[in-house]
Structure 1
Amino acid sequence: MLEEERKSFDFAADLIKQVLTLSSAIIAVTVSAAKFLFASASADVFQVMFISWASFIVCILFGFFAYMSLTGELARPKIPGAPHIYTGKIRFFMTIHLLAFFIGIIFVALFAYAGQECTDPAATWLCKRLL
């Protein structure tokens, strides 16, 4: 295996680790701080946060699957052809992993907006769409 190929596996593994760390940290912070920061928010606003948490949990699960796929690709028996990072299973798990992370980030931002601005659901068009 060439040095560039080894580096690509290292960079992919580092990306997975960083997104896993961020996802679990965001879940921990939002779970512990949500009640204190948005005590006056309605239950409808918290449904937006539950979607975010579910998305981060999906992100964490698929991050583990992507990491295991990287490991499996490197540790597979010597089959003709070098292992590469663009196999279907690695791309699938990485895509779901990153999409779930970005969806979770979007819903955290929507929760923060809705918690501050949507005390009256008729206030803005976004509040009407969210709630």
Structure 2
Amino acid sequence: MEEPLKKAFDGALDLIKQLITLSTGTLALTATFIKDILKLPDGHAIPHKAILFITWGLMLLSIFCGLLAHGALTGTLEGADIVNLQTSAPPKRISPYNSNIRIWAMSQCVIFYLGIVMLIVYVGCCL
């Protein structure tokens, strides 16, 4: 595999991993410290729970899409060296832009950004 293609796969994998980490961190921090962030006295309910639950759902969905993108990336790289001996068709060109990777990676990005927007909306509603 050529060096630029390796770097493209490495870059795609790094982005997927970073978004999984950011989604997990956002989910964990907001779930753990929400009462401290909002400075709620004991016994008071968390306001606007629906927006918060939507944010958490989007972050979980982003993590799920990231794991699927990671698996698609790994599967594509694994299949790069397999030669189909039953046909004389030329081997497929592998790329981090193959549709099996691109669909999950783009979904992960869009859902993550929607989750961040919902978190900003939640904080804005609570101020």
Range into which the TM-score falls when normalised by the shorter chain: 0.7 to 0.9
The AA in structure 2 aligned to 1:20 is: I
| Structure 2 residues without counterparts, runs of 5 or longer | 85-90
- 1:60-89 alpha-carbon deviations (Å, 9 max, x no partner): 000000000000000012351331112111
Find the aligned partners of 1:78 and 1:53 in 2 and give their Cα distance. Answer: 43
Match of 2:65 in 1: 62
Find the aligned partners of 1:32 and 1:13 in 2 and give their Cα distance. Answer: 28
**Residues 1:78 and 2:83 aligned together:** yes
Match of 1:93 in 2: 104
Report the TM-score when normalising by structure 1: 0.82
Find the aligned partners of 1:67 and 1:93 in 2 and give their Cα distance. Answer: 9
Match of 1:122 in 2: none
| Structure 1 residues without counterparts, runs of 5 or longer | 117-131
Aligned counterparts, 1:1-131, within 5 A: 1-38=1-38, 39=40, 45-76=48-79, 77-78=82-83, 80-116=91-127
Find the aligned partners of 2:49 and 2:118 in 1 and give their Cα distance. Answer: 11
Find the aligned partners of 2:45 and 2:110 in 1 and give their Cα distance. Answer: 28
- In the TM superposition, structure 1's runs of 4+ consecutive aligned residues that sit over 6 Å from their partners are none
Q: Secondary structure at the match of 1:31?
A: helix
- 1:17-36 alpha-carbon deviations (Å, 9 max, x no partner): 11111110011110011122
Question: Once the 2 structures are TM-superposed, how far is the Cα of residue 37 of structure 1 from its aligned partner?
Answer: 2.5
Report the TM-score when normalising by structure 2: 0.84
The AA in structure 1 aligned to 2:96 is: I
Corresponding pairs, count: 116
- Report 1 or 2 for greater relative contact order, CA contacts < 8 Å, sequence distance ≥ 6: 2
Find the aligned partners of 1:68 and 1:87 in 2 and give their Cα distance. Answer: 13
Find the aligned partners of 1:113 and 1:15 in 2 and give their Cα distance. Answer: 28
